[in-house]
C-alpha cells in the first residue's frame, strides 16, 4: 500500500511513499496501548469501590450495630433459649462475658526471717495492729482482722510490754520451718514470756508466718479472744499438747494460725538449756539434765569450754531438730567462737516419759565441739580439752600444768568454781583428784610432782569452801599418759607430753 508525502524540494508537491517506511514510527505506540487500557480499568474499579461499594457496606454495618445495642438495652439479661432454625436468636449467640482480671502476683516481702520478726516487733510497738494482724495471718488473710484484735487485746488491755526489734531471736529450724521468738512481759512479772512464730518461705511472697504460739500465761488472760485460738495439737517436733479453747465460729475460715503453748516443746526446751550453758550457769543447766544418764563431768566440762572459748549461738540456725517424736527428739546446737575463729556444733538427745511430762537431756554428744576446741585452744593459751576419759571408767575434768610446775593456770579458777559448786550442794559427794606427769625425770621425782599438782587443786577447792573430807588425792606420776610422749619414729613429742602434765578430777557421784 502506498501513501502520499510532501516533498521538501518541491514545496507542496505530493510524492508516493511505501508503508514499510512508517512501521518504525508506530511500533512503540502499539505495545504501550494495552498497558494504558489496564491502568485505566484499575482506576475505574478503585473509584467504584470507594464511592459506591464502601459507603454501602458502612451503612449496613452501622444498621446492624444499632440493632444489637437496642436489643441489649431492652433485654439486659436475656434468658437462654433452645437453638431452633426458626428462632432468629438461635442464629445470634449472646455476647461473651468480660474476662476476669488476672490475679495480682504477690510482691516479694521479707528476704530473711529476722526481717519479718523485726517488722512484727515494730508494728506492735507502734500499736499498728492492722499491720501486725496481716503479718500474723499471711498464710490465711481472712483471719487478719481476728489476729489484729487478738494482738490489740494483748497489748492494750493486758498491758503486755513487747520487746524491741533487737530482742527478736531465731530459736532454730524444725520441719523446714524457722522459729522466731519475741519476748513480752506482763504487768507485775519480771521474767519475760515468749511469743513464738513459725515461718516458711513462699517463692512469691518471701518469708511468711504460718503459726503463732501464745504462752499459756498470756492465753489464760485472753478468754474473749479464744475463738481465734485453737488447741495446739501435739507438735511433730515433740511439743506438748496445748490448752484447749472453744471451737472457732464458722465465720473464721481456714486453718488456725494461733495456738496456745502449755509447756516448752523440744526446740524451746533445747534452746533454754543451751542458753544456760552459754551463760556459764551450771546450776541452771543441771535442771534440764537427767543426771543418771548424763555424767556431771560432761556438763561441767561443756560449761568450761563455753566460758573459755566465749562461744555463742550461731545467729542463723542456732538449733536444728533432726529427729522429732512425741517422746524423743535429737537436736543439733550450732555455736561459734569469734575469739577462736571457729564454728562448731554438739548434739542433744531429749526424752520424756509421756506427752504430759517435761523433757530432759539424756545425752550429750560433744566430740565435735571438744575436737574443735582442742585444735584451737592454743590461741587462748589454754591447752587441750577439759574432758578426758578416766582410766577407771567414765570421764574426768582435766586441769593442765606447765613443764615442771605445780601452779594452776589462771583459767583453772573458773573450772574449780564449777566443781566447788557441785560438792557444796551435797556434802555426801566425794571427789577424786589424781596428779600426772610426762615421762621426763625419774619415777620418784614424777611421783612427788604429780602429788604436788593434786594437792594444789585440793587447796584451791578448800579455799572455795569445799570440805577437805570430800576430797581424795592420788599421785600417778608418769604411769597413765593421755598421749604418747614420743612419736612413732622414737623422737620427742612435745605436744603429747604437754597433754600428760595434768590433774584429773573425777566426780564419784
pLDDT at 35 over 50: yes
Length of the chain: 509
- Beta strands 312-313 and 502-508 are unpaired
Q: Do the bridges between strand 395-400 and strand 387-389 make them parallel or antiparallel, or are there none, so unpaired? A: antiparallel
| Domains 264-382 and 383-509 in one fold | no
Tens of pLDDT along 122-156?
999 999 999 999 999 998 899 999 999 999 999 99
At residue 472, the pLDDT reads 93
CA-based end-to-end distance of the chain: 151
Residue 213: C-alpha distances to residues 80, 184, 458 (Å) = 54, 13, 50
441 pLDDT exceeds 80? yes
- For the cut 80, the answer to whether the pLDDT of residue 283 exceeds it is yes
What pLDDT, on a 0 to 100 scale, did the predictor assign at position 397? 87
Distance CA 434, CA 413 (A): 18
Given a cut of 90, whether residue 171 has pLDDT beyond it is yes
* Average pLDDT of span 469-475: 92
Q: What is the pLDDT of residue 221?
A: 74
CB 185 within 8 A of CB 86: no
**Residue 10: its pLDDT value, please?**
44
Q: Which fold has domain 264-382?
A: Nuclear Transport Factor 2; Chain: A, (3.10.450)
Average pLDDT rounded to a whole number, residues 374-389: 73
Q: How far is CA 159 from each of CA 188, 327, 385, 489, rounded to the nearest angstrom?
A: 10, 36, 48, 73
pLDDT at 183: 94
Residue 110 has pLDDT above 60, yes or no: yes
465, three cell numbers = 569452801
HSE-CB of 243 using CA atoms within 13 angstroms: 19
pLDDT per residue over 242-270, tens digit each? Answer: 334 333 333 344 567 788 876 778 999 99
User: Going by C-beta distance under 8 Å and a sequence separation of 6 or more, which residues neighbour residue 389?
Assistant: 395, 396
Average pLDDT, the chain: 78
Reference 170, options 59, 287, 267, 52; nearest CA is: 267
Which band of pLDDT confidence, cut at 50, 70 and 90, is reported for residue 99? low
**Better-predicted residue by pLDDT, 309 or 169:** 169
Q: Give the H or E element holding residue 68.
A: helix 54-74
Instruction: Considering the domain delimited by 383-509, tell me its CATH architecture.
Output: 2-Layer Sandwich (3.30)
User: Given this model, what pLDDT does residue 36 score?
Assistant: 63
- At residue 46, the pLDDT reads 63
**345 by DSSP, 3-state: which?**
strand
* Model confidence band, residue 56 (pLDDT cutoffs 50, 70, 90): low
Q: Tell me the CATH number for domain 113-262.
A: 3.10.450
Q: What is the mean pLDDT of residues 406-435?
A: 82
Residue 168 pLDDT exceeds 60: yes
Where is pLDDT greater, at 19 or 479?
479
pLDDT band (50, 70, 90) for residue 410: confident
Domain residue ranges in the chain? 113-262, 264-382, 383-509
pLDDT on residue 263: 72
Is residue 433 helix, strand or coil? strand
> For residue 506, what are the contacts with CB-CB under 8 A and spacing of at least 6?
297, 390, 392, 394, 396, 431, 432, 433, 434
Amino acid at each position: 500500500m502506498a501513501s502520499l508525502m510532501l516533498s521538501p524540494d518541491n514545496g507542496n508537491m505530493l510524492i508516493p511513499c511505501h508503508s514499510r517506511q512508517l512501521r518504525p514510527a508506530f511500533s512503540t505506540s502499539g505495545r504501550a496501548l494495552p498497558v494504558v487500557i489496564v491502568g485505566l480499568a484499575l482506576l475505574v474499579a478503585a473509584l467504584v469501590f470507594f464511592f459506591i461499594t464502601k459507603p454501602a457496606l458502612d451503612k449496613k454495618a452501622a444498621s446492624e450495630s444499632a440493632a444489637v445495642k437496642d436489643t441489649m438495652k431492652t433485654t439486659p439479661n436475656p434468658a437462654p433459649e433452645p437453638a431452633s432454625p426458626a428462632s432468629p436468636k438461635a442464629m445470634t449467640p449472646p455476647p461473651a462475658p468480660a474476662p476476669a482480671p488476672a490475679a495480682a502476683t504477690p510482691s516479694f516481702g521479707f528476704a530473711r526471717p529476722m526481717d519479718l520478726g523485726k517488722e512484727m516487733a515494730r508494728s506492735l510497738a507502734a500499736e499498728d495492729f492492722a499491720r501486725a494482724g496481716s503479718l500474723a495471718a499471711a498464710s490465711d488473710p481472712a483471719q487478719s482482722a481476728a489476729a489484729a484484735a487478738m494482738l490489740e487485746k494483748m497489748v492494750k488491755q493486758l498491758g503486755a510490754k513487747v520487746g524491741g526489734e533487737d530482742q527478736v531471736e531465731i530459736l532454730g529450724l524444725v520441719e523446714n520451718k524457722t522459729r522466731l521468738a519475741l519476748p513480752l512481759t506482763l504487768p507485775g512479772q519480771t521474767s519475760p514470756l515468749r511469743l513464738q512464730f513459725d515461718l516458711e518461705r513462699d517463692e512469691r511472697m518471701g518469708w511468711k508466718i504460718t503459726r503463732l504460739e501464745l504462752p499459756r500465761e498470756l492465753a489464760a488472760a485472753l478468754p474473749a479472744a479464744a475463738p481465734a485460738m485453737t488447741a495446739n495439737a501435739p507438735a511433730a517436733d515433740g511439743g506438748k499438747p496445748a490448752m484447749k479453747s472453744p471451737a472457732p465460729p464458722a465465720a473464721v475460715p481456714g486453718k488456725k494460725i494461733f495456738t496456745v503453748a502449755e509447756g516448752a516443746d523440744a526446740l524451746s526446751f533445747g534452746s533454754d538449756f543451751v542458753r544456760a550453758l552459754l551463760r556459764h550457769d551450771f546450776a541452771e543447766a543441771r535442771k534440764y539434765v537427767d543426771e543418771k544418764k548424763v555424767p556431771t563431768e560432761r556438763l561441767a566440762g561443756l560449761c568450761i569450754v563455753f566460758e573459755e572459748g566465749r562461744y555463742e549461738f550461731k545467729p542463723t540456725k542456732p538449733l536444728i531438730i533432726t529427729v522429732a517424736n512425741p517422746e524423743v527428739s535429737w537436736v543439733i546446737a550450732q555455736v561459734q567462737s569469734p575469739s577462736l575463729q571457729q564454728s562448731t556444733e554438739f548434739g542433744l538427745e531429749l526424752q520424756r516419759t509421756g506427752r504430759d511430762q517435761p523433757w530432759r537431756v539424756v545425752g550429750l554428744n560433744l566430740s565435735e565441739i571438744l575436737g574443735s576446741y582442742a585444735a584451737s585452744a592454743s590461741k587462748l593459751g589454754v591447752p587441750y580439752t577439759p574432758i578426758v576419759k578416766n582410766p577407771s571408767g567414765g570421764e574426768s575434768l582435766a586441769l593442765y600444768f606447765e613443764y615442771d610446775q605445780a601452779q594452776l593456770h589462771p583459767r583453772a579458777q573458773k573450772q574449780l568454781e564449777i566443781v566447788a559448786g557441785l560438792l557444796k550442794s551435797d556434802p555426801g559427794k566425794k571427789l577424786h583428784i589424781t596428779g600426772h606427769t610426762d615421762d621426763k625425770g625419774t619415777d620418784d621425782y614424777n611421783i612427788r610432782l604429780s602429788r604436788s599438782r593434786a594437792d594444789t587443786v585440793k587447796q584451791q577447792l578448800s579455799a572455795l569452801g569445799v570440805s577437805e573430807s570430800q576430797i581424795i588425792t592420788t599421785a600417778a606420776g608418769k604411769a597413765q599418759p593421755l598421749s604418747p610422749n614420743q612419736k612413732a619414729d622414737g623422737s620427742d613429742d612435745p605436744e603429747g607430753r604437754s597433754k600428760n602434765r595434768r590433774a584429773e578430777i573425777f566426780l564419784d557421784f
